[in-house]
Structures are given as structure tokens and as C-alpha cells.
A and B are shown apart, each in its own frame.
Chain A
Amino acid sequence: MLGFFVRRIMVMIPTLLAISAITFVIIQLPPGDYLTTLVTELESRGEAIDQSRLQFLRETYGLDKPMIEQYFVWLGGMLTGDYGYSFEYNRPVADVVGDRMLLTIVVSFATIIFIWVVSFPIGIYSATHQYSLGDYGLTFLGFLGLATPNFLLALVLLYFANVMFGTSIGGLMDPVYMDAPWSWGKMVSVLEHLWIPVIVIGTSGTAGMIRRLRANLLDELHKQYVVTARAKGLSPARVLWKYPLRMAINPFISDIGNLLPQIVSGAAVVSIVLSLPTTGPMLLDALRSQDMYLAGSFLMFLALLTVVGVFLSDVALAMLDPRIRLEGGANR
């Protein structure tokens, strides 16, 4: 177990390094470094440029050095909590971000819980009542859920909420708490607003999970040991719970690797439509104004979120399923 743990972490480090390299390349993609952008921006506003400040920025971020060195300066900054400088907000990135990242984690986590809670009973029902009316209906709903892009779903929900109830369902908390420090009331307010984005983001994931659980469970149910169990007179519920379900439930954890990038992607767009105070809208703003340091740290954060999430799911899976850690490593 410990060996698996260590091996898994060793795999994670080069992955993160490669991700950071790609992110850095993306930051550098727009023509000119960000000081030239800053200068043109200031000039367009008719402000004077403080040469000493320019010099200061150039030195802190090593912009006069070669690209490779700049990358290491940036990487070192990331590790020590210095995420660069947002010239859009004229403040260090770390200050701008605030608790947006935390809220992103909250939304993603809640979505995963939602997917589990919803797809579990539906998947079991679909598998045990194969080709029944309910199964067909649920399968069709699942297809629809897979096909509807979640930002469109958000838009449609917004529209109906607006037309039918005359309310706006956007936002993640009561406006009162917008800039307030965390308190009990704020948390309750967040929880009250959480369910709509969670449903919207979770729809396609739920649909996929139901299909997978159904397929897995059907595979198990057709195996001989199930027939044996039934033949010796176990109750249907016990036949289902004792082994097939436990075998079929693996994707709930192992699929987080596929699910998480999808959820984080979905969350980014949905939060733009629903104007949630998460990383999505700010990422869009940063990209629009080519505020690449801010955008880069968001991208890095979102990738980090997925990598760590996948790591956690791998560890959980290894603990639950002995087959995984036995075969791990060498020839993967």
C-alpha cells in the first residue's frame, strides 16, 4: 500500500511539471511580454509610465532573462505562493483570486456528490429492470442529458426561472454576503444557492455514470455466481447487494479521473452563464483582456484540482479494491 502511494506521487510530480510548462507556454503565447501590454494599456489611458516601477517589475519577474530562466522564476513563484501580477487589477494575482478557488472546489465537490447520489439508485433501477418502460425512459433522459451542453441548460433554466418566477437564479450567495468574510450565514446562503449550478453541471456526468453503472451491473448480473445465489434461494435484494453491486460500484471512484476534468470544464462555463463567484468568470475576463498571468494561474489551478482529485480517487480505489494495488506499477 505504501509502495503504491509513493509510486503514485512520483508519477504525479512530472505530470504537474509538464502541466506547468504547458501553462507557461500559453501565458507566453500572446505577442509581447506583459510589460509591453502594460505600457500600451497605460498609454491608451493617457497615464504616464513610471520607469522605476517598470524596472522593478522587470526584475522581479526576470523578464529580461531567457525564456527557460523565466519559466523557473515563474515556477518558483508558484511554489512559494507568488502567482505573478495581474495588470488588469493592478494587484498581485494572489490578492485578486480571493476565495474563488475555494468556491470552485466546493462547487466541483458538491457536483460529484450529486452525481453519486443521483446515479446510484437510477443505475441500479435501470439494470434490474432492463428493457422496462422506466429503463427506456431513463435511458432517453440520460441521452438528452449527455447531448445538452450544460451552459445551454443553464441558459434555459435561467430563462424559465426568469419568466415563471420572475427571479434570478444566478449567483452563489446572497448579494449581502458578496464581500463579507466567511460566517455561518454566508455558508448557509452558499448552500442555498449551490443546487442549481450543481444540477446543471452534474447532468451530463450523471447521465454517463448511470450508463456505466447499468452496463457494469448487467455484466455482473449475468454471471454464474448470481444464478447460483438465486438458485439456493437468497432473496433478490440480498443477491443484488452481496456481490454484484459491490463489483459494479468501482466506476464510482475510478471514473473520477474522467469525470473531474469534465466537471471542472463544465463548472467554468456554467459559472460564467450563472455569474457565480468562482474561477470561471474571472478566467474569461482575464483571457479577454489577455491578462495572462491571472489566466495562467487559473489554468494551473484547475489542472492541479483535476490531478489531485484523480490522485485521491486512485488512492481510494487502491484501498477499496485489492486488485488495483497488486497489479500496479511495472508494466503500466
Chain B
Amino acid sequence: MTADRLDHYVSTAPFDPYAVEHMSPEQERYYMASQWRMMWWKLKRHRLAVVSGVVLAVMYFTILISEFLSPYALDSRHIHHIYAPPQSVHLFHEGSFVGPFVYGFDYRLDMDTLQRVYTVDRTDVQPIRFFCRGDGYDFWGMIPASLHLMCPSEGGTLFLLGTDRLGRDMLSRILYGTRISLTVGLIGITISFVLGIVIGGVAGYYGGWIDNVTQRFIEVLRSFPELPLWMALSAALPVTWSPILIYFGITLILGLLDWTGLARAVRSKLLALREEDFCTAAQLMGASPRRIIGRHLLPSFMSHLIASATLSIPGMILGETALSFLGLGLRPPITSWGVLLNEAQNINVVALYPWLMLPVVPVIVVVLAFNFLGDGLRDAADPYR
């Protein structure tokens, strides 16, 4: 018997059952990465989304220090510079370097057309001052201060984006408006996020008639054209409310009508996930529905939810802008981009003073940025693809 056996090699090294599964440090880093880390890696490769994210981060950062960034206070009026055109920044005066400065205005009222005519006075050099004392303000509504990033020279003016019908600086007002316009979307999306998860979660987890009722209700809400419904609801806000109450009312309206899409997404995911074994296991161990939904089911598609929430923020910002533009939304002294655009409603005014339309630019930038970021997040939310 032994004669026909072939010789064979036997290793004397100790046997390591995990030898095949050993990974290099890079592999380990990759295979052991958490879902969020993988999302981040994938997102980083999406250039446009990263750029958009940075733009948005910068804009959200400015709302913390809008008072400091804007050359004037929100409501400081310049009665001698009503509808002044934008002043451009120059560096050289008659061939010699002066540093950033603007030329002053000569102002004259055209008695024939009753139009204000501003001509640039090429001799009046007004250097811009930096980190200087200007209009006083209460920083964050609490700390009295007067420091600005840049101010006009003594006795001069600095209207980089022109002024409006009361002689208020547009640049300052746009910077202040950022604060309101950007937070409207955030508060609104928070409301709609909570509503969407709770309602969609209950509908998806329990199914049956609860699901049916919610689905029909969502269908009804969705068949309303959004904007007219927003208009009707915000018109119904009592006129006696203070502007700040109106602000919260508007965000509430925006959030209350927006949750339907999110609720549908949550529901359809839950309907599938609740049949999974890990869900049955949790049920058998006696976990409450709240815990199962919140602890076991939601985290598995949270990233998708965040991506779709990012995509619905611009809708809210646009909604607020449209409402305020039509005069049904926020009211002064609360200033948003829509409130600023409200002044641009009359085409004859806009034709004469086109810089009143400038708040359109940040609106488009923000909406585009949110769309790109949302697209990037949505792609990244599925890191295994």
C-alpha cells in the first residue's frame, strides 16, 4: 500500500487559518470603513458637488457675521444717494497706484424727466478703508459694535451694488438678506424631515389602513399646485402678526407642504425592510416600534434621506423668494432676497435701475449649489455602486 503513495511536501510552519483573509493596511482601511466614511470618499471625487459644498459653507458662514461684512447697516439711509448706480473699485488713479478706491458721484436732478442723474467724478478719489469703524450695530442682536470689514472714506460713499429707492446700500441688504433666505430653507427642511420620517415611518411600518389613509392624503396634497397653495396659506396669516412671527409662519407653511415626497420615500423603504430578518429579530426581542423604526430601520437609508432633503431645500428657498417677491411672504424689516426683489416688481423701475435685480444672482447660485451638492450626495449615498 505505502509503495504506490507519492511523496508530498508537508509544511512544518504553524497553521494560520486566517492567512487568506489578511489584508494590507489600505485594504483594511477600505473594507472596514463605515458607511459615512465611504460616502465621504465617494463625494470627494464628485468635483462639482465639493465646490458647491464649499460655496454653500462660505455662504452659511457669512450669515454669522453679516453685520461685520456689510459696509453699512441694514437700514441706514442716504437721502442724497437715492437710486445711486453701483460704484466700481479701482486700483490706479491717473496711472499711479492708490490701492482700492472708488470715484465719488456728482448728482443732479434732470428737471425734464425728473430722473436722478449720477455722473462719476474722476477727480474725487475715495480710498476704501478696511477694518474700520462705521455704522453701529448690535452684533447678534446683543453686543453693540461698529467694526466693519470695509467702509467708505471719510465723508465718501461706498455703494458697490448701488442703492435702492430709500438710498440704502444694496450690497449690505443682500448680505443681511442671506441670513433670512438661507435659514428659511433649513428650518423648513427640519420641519418637513421630522414630519416625513414620522408619518412615512408609521405608514410604512404598520401598513394596512393607516398606510392607505396616509397615501390618499399625500395624493391629495400633491395634486394641489404648490405655489398657489403656499400663497393662499401665507395670505391667511393674520395681518396683526409681527414680522418675526410671520417669518416662522412662512417656514412652517413651507415645511408643512413639503414632507410628502420624503414620507413616500421612507414608507416604501420601510415596507421592504420590515420583512427583513433583523427586523423580525428585534420584534421578537420585544423592541418597541419606535425603537425598531428609529434604531434599526431608519439608519439603513438615512444617507438617502439626507440626499433627498438637500435636493428639496432649494425648492423652499425659491418658494420663500416667490412669496416675498409677490408681497405675500416676509415683511420688512425682515429682509430676504425675495423682499429685496419685491422692489424690482415694476418693470419701469427695473429698466431705469437694473441693479435692483441683483438679488437674483445669489438666489440662482444657492439653488444651483444645492442641486449639485444634492446630486453628489445622492450618488455618494450608494457607495457600493
Contacts and interface: CB of A to CB of B under 8 A. Distances in A.
A168 interface: yes
Contacts of A149: 318, 321-322, 363, 367
A317 interface: no
Interface in A121-172: 143-144, 146-149, 151-152, 155-156, 158-159, 162-163, 168, 170
B228 A265 contact: yes
Given A15-B216, A31-B238, A159 B232 contact: no
Interface in B175-230: 216-217, 219-220, 222-229
Interface string A255-290: 000001110111011001100000000011001101
Contacts of B225: 260-262, 264-265, 268, 302-303, 306
Contact of B227 (A22, A268, A288): A268
Contacts of A292: 236
A284 B231 contact: yes
Interface residues of B, number: 41
Contact of B354 (A159, A260, A290): A159
B360 interface: yes
Contacts of A261: 222-226
A29 B235 CA distance: 9
B228 A283 contact: yes
Nearest to A284: B326
A310 interface: yes
A133 B130 CA distance: 45
B233 A26 contact: yes
B232 A295 contact: yes
Contact of B232 (A170, A264, A299): A299
Given A143-B368, A162-B347, A19 B224 contact: yes
A35 interface: no
A298 B227 CA distance: 13
A93 interface: no
Interface residues of A, number: 50
Contacts of A298: 228
Nearest to B235: A287
B325 interface: yes
B330 interface: no
Contacts of A273: 345
Interface in B326-356: 326-328, 341, 344-345, 347, 350-351, 354
B223 A303 contact: yes
A104 to B, nearest CB: 11
A290 B235 contact: yes
Interface string A101-120: 00000000000000000000
A307 interface: yes
Interface in B298-327: 314, 318, 321-322, 325-327
A329 interface: no
Contacts of A251: none
B364 interface: yes
B223 A265 contact: no
Nearest to A166: B351
A30 interface: yes
Contact of A162 (B216, B227, B351): B351
A276 to B, nearest CB: 14
A81 interface: no
A131 B228 CA distance: 39
A3 interface: no
Given A152-B364, A268-B231, A22 B328 contact: no
Interface of B: 216-217, 219-220, 222-229, 231-233, 235-236, 238, 314, 318, 321-322, 325-328, 341, 344-345, 347, 350-351, 354, 357, 360, 363-364, 367-368, 371-372
Given A159-B354, A268-B228, 15 more contacts: A15-B220, A15-B223, A19-B223, A29-B236, A31-B238, A149-B321, A155-B344, A155-B347, A155-B350, A156-B357, A261-B222, A261-B223, A262-B225, A287-B232, A296-B232
Interface of A: 14-15, 18-19, 22, 26, 29-31, 143-144, 146-149, 151-152, 155-156, 158-159, 162-163, 168, 170, 260-262, 264-266, 268-269, 272-273, 283-284, 287-288, 290, 292, 295-296, 298-299, 302-303, 306-307, 310
